[in-house]
Amino acid sequence: LPSSMLLRRGVLLSSGAQVRLASKRSTPLPMGAAVRRAMTNPQHRGGHSSAPDSSPAGPLRAALSWEQLDAYVAETGLLDVDRVNGPTNSQARLRLFGQDEASVRVTLYRDNHAWCPYCQKIWLWLEEKQVPYKIEKVTMFCYGEKESWYKRKVPSGMLPALELDGRMITESDVILAELESVFGALHKGMTDPAVVPLRRLERLLFRAWCNWLCQPNWFPGEEKRARKEFERAMEIVE
């Protein structure tokens, strides 16, 4: 997509920034001169000669075209971020935190779209600990075919995976335990008595959620029972 953006339901998502379109809000959308020019130029409205349902300074009544979004990004510098040493960025391929690239010992294999919560566990840990690492992005089974190069590394194709000093490690909790053994725990480690019950609760919640939404309900009342189990798990979490 142009400028690595996604326009969905009136929200522009870009590197963690959100620009809500005025079609979803009652106050005018602040627009730069480039966007105002684009909105008043018929060539930038897909050839339509009618003016938008607003003045250039007023609220925007239609979604911006990709060309208009590109103009907005060019004017505002929305994507001019330091992906290597700056704030956490889902599009980064290398994170150094001010250190030299030669210090990198870790490669994180995670999903392309930053959806997988188990990948996020490892990602958050590395960011919080500021361990320099590289990122390789892999397709999830739920939205595409797994890359052959990844299946050669991880035959199951499961995510996340982590390469530490040339050694491949899978399973998010195992990965975190290995990272702690090499780089130290963030605060309380994986085996801390205060942490272990929370890890069990995480698994309980995942099973309840998955049994309700991801498993076929073959018999009458099965879906209702699965939902009740999920609600009970959520009550424990709360």
Rounded to whole angstroms, the Cα distance separating 45 from 50 reads 9
- The radius of gyration computed from the CA coordinates of the chain, to the nearest angstrom, equals 23
* Predicted pLDDT of residue 60: 62
CA atoms within 13 A on the CB side of 57: 0
Quote the longest CA-to-CA distance of the chain: 67
Do the Cβ atoms of 91 and 145 come closer than 8 Å?
Answer: no
Under the phi-then-psi rule, with left for phi > 0, alpha for psi from -120 to 50, and beta for the rest, what region is 80? beta
The rounded distance, in Å, linking the Cα atoms of 68 and 146 is 35
Q: Which tokens in the block code for residue 137?
A: 């992005």
117 and 87 Cβ atoms separated by less than 8 Å: no
Give the per-residue pLDDT at 59.
60
Burial classification of residue 48, based on how many CB atoms lie within 10 Å of its CB (0-12 exposed, 13-18 middle, 19 or more buried): exposed
User: Whole-prediction pTM value?
Assistant: 0.66
What is the pLDDT at residue 58? 54
pLDDT by position in tens, the chain (length 238): 333 333 333 333 333 333 333 333 334 444 445 445 544 554 444 444 333 444 444 566 788 899 999 999 999 888 888 999 999 999 999 999 999 999 999 999 999 999 899 999 999 999 999 999 999 999 998 888 999 999 999 999 999 999 999 999 999 999 999 999 999 999 899 999 999 999 999 999 999 998 998 888 778 889 999 999 999 999 999 9
